[in-house]
Structure 1
């Protein structure tokens, strides 16, 4: 018998993305579960991960039900900064040293394919570009020592066919190239409006037959005669597969041994129209330092920037402390654009999770058949969610995905509960 774990506060401060949503972007309120329902796949969690899973299952013609404890497409989804990249917080060259080049390249390739698949999924769901748009990533060396690491990264990516080039593109401002002269450019990434993307995918899933139940916290999950029974809200769901899609906090006792390393990080959105005129609108930047500073643009001309990881799990509720961290992020941003003026119109602190080996927990629980974990620990959460959808479809079809062993939720790293010897690698609220 498995019971739901306690909920945690996921963010504090003022979020930017909800302010961008219009009435037409809304998601109709859905009822709480008050009946007995039979389906093939029950998804616990109605955030970005649940939305991607449900949309993918619907496209594959597989019946599903989403159980969300509160309002769907909110919570940590609204706090995400929406940078989607095939590159990961752990460099390919470093991952190759740990697990071998072939396996590391395979993981990166699956992430690259997942970014592309999410674009197709969003297009099929009716997104007209506001929810998700193609983007270019600039990866800047933070020190002389990091220049060698970044060159190694570029060579390994280029040799294995990834879309990268050496140096800053000519389209960026001269001040940026002067401040960070050593950089790599990656193509084929994306920028998202996270709650809009999640709502778009949820609407498409529901239109295709998926049932969404809001305000239906899971009380109990148990297995009976080869089927799973989930008690949620005031009702019950019977399914052959259960997917735990509850973000950085596992959410049910079946996932209790998965112990993400919880930390907090900071983000802000500047005033509209503050993006320098000579900076490309479809571009994001991140640094090789760990933890790293990063920023992206928005359709209304803002810059969303973030970083300053801290080894504390709970988001700060201290407005003065948050204002201080925002000032630090503005100072970092101003070093890239010394002639621009920025202020933080929105600022927030959010919780994130890492794994001890810098890889997500995705896959069927080898000790409990039919229980699938989709816990995207790390800075590439939305990309990992798409990867989880692909792996789930393979699992339902009785196929073994190429990454099944590497990302096994019960691998040794999942139970260690402590960071690897590598420095902290995460800052993006993804």
Structure 2
């Protein structure tokens, strides 16, 4: 199993009592088998089971144990690629549809969170996207005008407006409303528990699928390392940043590593700061938000390596760099670092997720939320895959399909 993160994670410490699921030790059948018990797999499983589809979720380790534990819990409708650039790449209609699909996915994540018994830390956030330099202003203003023209809830702040609300001054900023935050570890565990108890989702941890064959009638036959056999009409791979396991070799992506810190709670904190998620135009970029209990979660400074940094002194240097950037924005913040980690981070070469059926293998689907909006893409993917499995057209399907035209030129 690939190592996806190194360091002292925060989210697992926020939930210590949760359900465990048995290893699959016998043969079984389902309409849909989902491989992967992280964010994408759990939301797909919840959606399908809720709709009455007989579904089995197979996780070779612990559910919520992979990239989910390193997820920063930020939910945005804006993406790694600006809307104005995405329009240039795939056309205005499709780019706007995709952005609006992201906005709708955040609303739907909130609806799922409201259906859960546990508090999963879901709540609204406002995003402040600041220009790092004067040179970034023309592009930032172009993006603001594009978002505004297409009906998104955005405003533009001049330096004086920024300085009036925050202890820092920047050349300009886009303010977007409709974003949110979530505790990813609590969310995944709660979603799976709800799907299992309410909708008869079958869940099996420590169940490693080692082979996948298709019979003449289209039935998919999965075998585990314990020699259990699962027969399913459809198979969804929701395996995060492990592309070498994909059979079709269709995925074009770049894998880097990204760094995150979480501080102890800040003792002197203006309450309004908690409402905002702050990120900047500089690349490699930096972002931060403040939790309900006053902790700063900050991250960024991605590096071109798919392997998480293991050596502690090197990790600490990155953590201190992030803390220095936090204090450059908020000089009064003095709470020390409580958690630091770095993790594999995937970004597709056309800045879109991979969602849909394998064009060369009927009944096999992928839900891979590559990019900074992985949780949002997971919700989008659950809707798209349910539509495809139920043979219903969805307008976003061709935009994120594995054989989409935008992948052919990268």
Q: Normalising by structure 2, what TM-score? A: 0.94
Gapped runs of 5+ residues in structure 1? 1-6, 421-430
| Residues paired across the two proteins, number | 407
Offset at residue 274 of structure 1 (A): 4.9
Pairing 1:120-159 to 2, within 5 Å after superposition = 120-128=111-119, 130-159=120-149
- Tell whether the 8 Å contact from 1:296 to 1:303 is kept in structure 2 after alignment: yes
| Equivalent position of 2:26 in the other structure | 35
1:311 equivalent in alignment to 2:301: no
TM-aligned CA distance change 1:336 to 1:279, over 3 Å: farther
TM-aligned CA distance change 1:248 to 1:274, over 3 Å: farther
Pairing 1:228-267 to 2, within 5 Å after superposition = 228-234=220-226, 235-250=228-243, 252-267=245-260
Among candidates 292, 308, 316, match of residue 323 of structure 1: 316
Partner SS for 1:39: strand
Partner SS for 2:360: coil
Offset at residue 255 of structure 1 (A): 4.0
Offset at residue 60 of structure 1 (A): 1.2
Among candidates 10, 26, 29, match of residue 16 of structure 1: 10
What is the distance in 2 between the residues matched to 1:315 and 1:177? 34
Gapped runs of 5+ residues in structure 2? none
- Tell whether the 8 Å contact from 1:31 to 1:213 is kept in structure 2 after alignment: yes
Among candidates 200, 207, 213, match of residue 209 of structure 1: 200
Pairing 1:336-351 to 2, within 5 Å after superposition = 336-351=329-344
- Tell whether the 8 Å contact from 1:168 to 1:183 is kept in structure 2 after alignment: yes
What is the distance in 2 between the residues matched to 1:299 and 1:216? 36
What is the distance in 1 between the residues matched to 2:406 and 2:247? 17
1:226 equivalent in alignment to 2:218: yes
Q: Normalising by structure 1, what TM-score? A: 0.90
- Tell whether the 8 Å contact from 1:16 to 1:269 is kept in structure 2 after alignment: yes
Partner SS for 2:2: coil
- Tell whether the 8 Å contact from 1:249 to 1:260 is kept in structure 2 after alignment: no
| Equivalent position of 1:376 in the other structure | 369
What is the distance in 1 between the residues matched to 2:7 and 2:105? 31
What is the distance in 1 between the residues matched to 2:353 and 2:323? 31
Task: Please tell me the root mean square deviation across aligned C-alpha atoms, in Å.
Answer: 2.0
1:393 equivalent in alignment to 2:393: no
Deviates more, 1:265-274 or 1:303-312: 265-274
TM-aligned CA distance change 1:357 to 1:165, over 3 Å: same
| Equivalent position of 1:408 in the other structure | 401
TM-aligned CA distance change 1:141 to 1:236, over 3 Å: same
TM-aligned CA distance change 1:251 to 1:385, over 3 Å: farther
Deviates more, 1:309-318 or 1:252-261: 252-261
Offset at residue 342 of structure 1 (A): 3.6
